[in-house]
Structure 1
Amino acid sequence: MAKENCLIVHAAGKQLDLLRGEASRIAKGSKVDWWIDRADVGTRFCFEDVKAKEAFAITCDSFGIPCRDG
């Protein structure tokens, strides 16, 4: 799958669980698939759709969790 719709987040524990739930909610609302991969530093969240990725980035920002394209 294309990696251009991925974000690398720096979270662990309950924050990571929270983000998994948000990613699932966003993907379900957008009717797209999503998946998680390990990154060198952090966790990579990938979406089939760029709009879902952008919505997830906004969610990360609202929780104060750093993320970057990945």
Structure 2
Amino acid sequence: MSKGNCLIVRAAGKQLDLLRGEAFRIAQGAKVGWWTERADIGTKFCFEDSKSKERFAITCDSLGIACRDS
């Protein structure tokens, strides 16, 4: 799987649960896969396509949660 469509998010607890739900919703709507990985400074959210990654970044921004490219 491509590692180029990933974002690192620094969140924990309920925020992280919320983001997992949003990632699932975005990926399901686009009919693509997604996964998370541990990162040194947070959690890496990866998607099979770049459009889903962009939508997830917009979602993070609207929730006030910082994210950055991995």
- If the length of structure 1 is used for normalisation, what is the TM-score? 0.98
Q: Describe the superposition over 1:13-51 as per-residue Cα deviations: whole angstroms up to 9, x where unpaired.
A: 000000000000000000000000000100000000100
> 1:61 corresponds to which letter in structure 2?
D
Distance 1:48 1:22 in 2: 15
Separation (CA, whole Å) in 2 of partners of 1:61 and 1:28: 20
Please give the root-mean-square deviation of Cα atoms over the aligned residues, in Å.
Answer: 0.4
Q: Structure 2: which 5+ residue stretches go unaligned?
A: none
Q: Which runs of 5+ in 1 are unaligned?
A: none
Q: How many residues align?
A: 70
Instruction: Report % sequence identity.
Output: 76
List structure 1 runs of 4+ shifted beyond 3 angstroms: none
Q: Which TM-score applies when normalising by structure 2? A: 0.98
